Amino acid sequence: MISTLKNTGSGIWYKEPYVWLLILFPLSAVVMGIIMISLAIRSDDGLVVDDYYKQGLEINMALERDRVAEYYGIDTDISVDESGKRITVHLNGNDMFSMPETLHVGFIHRTRSGFDQTIILTRSHDGNYHASMPALVRGNWDVLIEADNWRKFSVYSIE
């Protein structure tokens, strides 16, 4: 008994559905690879720093500034007016704390460093610090309030 292969009759390869199924998987991998390469080239993740060693050495100085804020018992209260255009920071501290003339306030986006902004607030006659509020995208922001020898972190949410 000899078996023979039967010809399906079509004979044209591009009319066979299984051929296209076999081509689909490698073709989709190539298309996704091109998309991923274009995304990697166009976007900057901002996570890698040029001088990581220097920043690693500076971490001790930054932690010391946090300890100074704890020593002074600094407490911050951030408020934004109803129009969202004016920011006010109120500081409290213990008896050894003296109020600085200016504060540097950094709004740090949690995932995209390109959205980070820094403003300088000046102390007014009421003892609070005021400035114009920068335009920020929605979400939770880490707020870094710092003066000459101390710094304090806070969280600010934009809905």
pLDDT tens column, 20-32: 999 999 999 999 9
User: Does the pTM exceed 0.85?
Assistant: no
Q: Answer yes or no: are the C-beta atoms of 130 and 88 closer than 8 Å.
A: yes
User: Which pLDDT tens digit goes with each residue over 81-109?
Assistant: 878 788 888 988 888 888 889 999 998 88
Residues 6+ apart with CB under 8 A from 144: 104, 105, 106, 108, 151, 152, 153
Average of pLDDT values for 101-121? 87
The more confident residue out of 48 and 74 is: 74
| Beta-carbon contacts of residue 69 (< 8 Å; ≥ 6 apart) | 150, 151, 152
